[in-house]
């Protein structure tokens, strides 16, 4: 789809990554069927340009999360900082150091797709940006 802006033609930006396309569709469907607005909000954030995705450090997760809590990052988790709590972290991507620090603290790393399958109602999920 193209549209005219001034004298220049611009294309509408569509996501080309099939994983993101599938995830956004899955989030919207789950939101409709379970009346879980948290998934609709995550789908809206993932439809935004990639440069607007969240990049959250382990230190921020440690600052805002409680022991045993589920944290959702609509972007990438980075390894800066320390983690001393066992938390479940779901994100699009993890750095290697973030994965090792989460597992060292007896936590769990999972994809957003797995979190949606395990918790379709979206209850007890904290979103970090």
pTM confidence score: 0.87
- pLDDT for 57: 98
The CATH classification number of 17-127 equals 3.100.10.10
pLDDT in tens, 6-49: 555 555 568 899 999 999 999 999 999 999 999 999 999 999 99
Handedness of CA 113, 114, 120, 122 (dihedral sign): negative
Phi-psi region of 54 (alpha: psi -120 to 50; beta: other; left: phi over 0): beta
- pLDDT for 7: 56
Handedness of CA 15, 60, 78, 112 (dihedral sign): negative
- pLDDT for 12: 53
Question: Domain-by-domain residue ranges, the chain?
Answer: 17-127
Q: Output the average pLDDT for the chain.
A: 92
Contacts of 44 (CB under 8 A, 6+ apart): none
Mean pLDDT over residues 85-102, rounded? Answer: 98
């Amino acid at each position: 789809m193209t549209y005219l802006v001034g004298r220049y033609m611009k294309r509408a930006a569509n996501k080309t990554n099939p994983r993101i396309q599938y995830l956004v569709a899955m989030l919207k469907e789950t939101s409709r069927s379970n009346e879980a607005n948290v998934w609709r909000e995550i789908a809206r954030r993932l439809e935004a340009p990639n440069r607007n995705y969240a990049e959250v450090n382990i230190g921020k997760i440690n600052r805002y999360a409680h022991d045993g809590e589920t944290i959702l990052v609509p972007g990438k988790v980075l390894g800066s900082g320390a983690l001393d709590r066992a938390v479940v972290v779901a994100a699009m991507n993890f750095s290697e150091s973030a994965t090792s620090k989460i597992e060292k603290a007896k936590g769990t790393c999972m994809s957003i797709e797995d979190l949606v399958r395990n918790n379709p109602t979206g209850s007890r999920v904290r979103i970090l940006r």
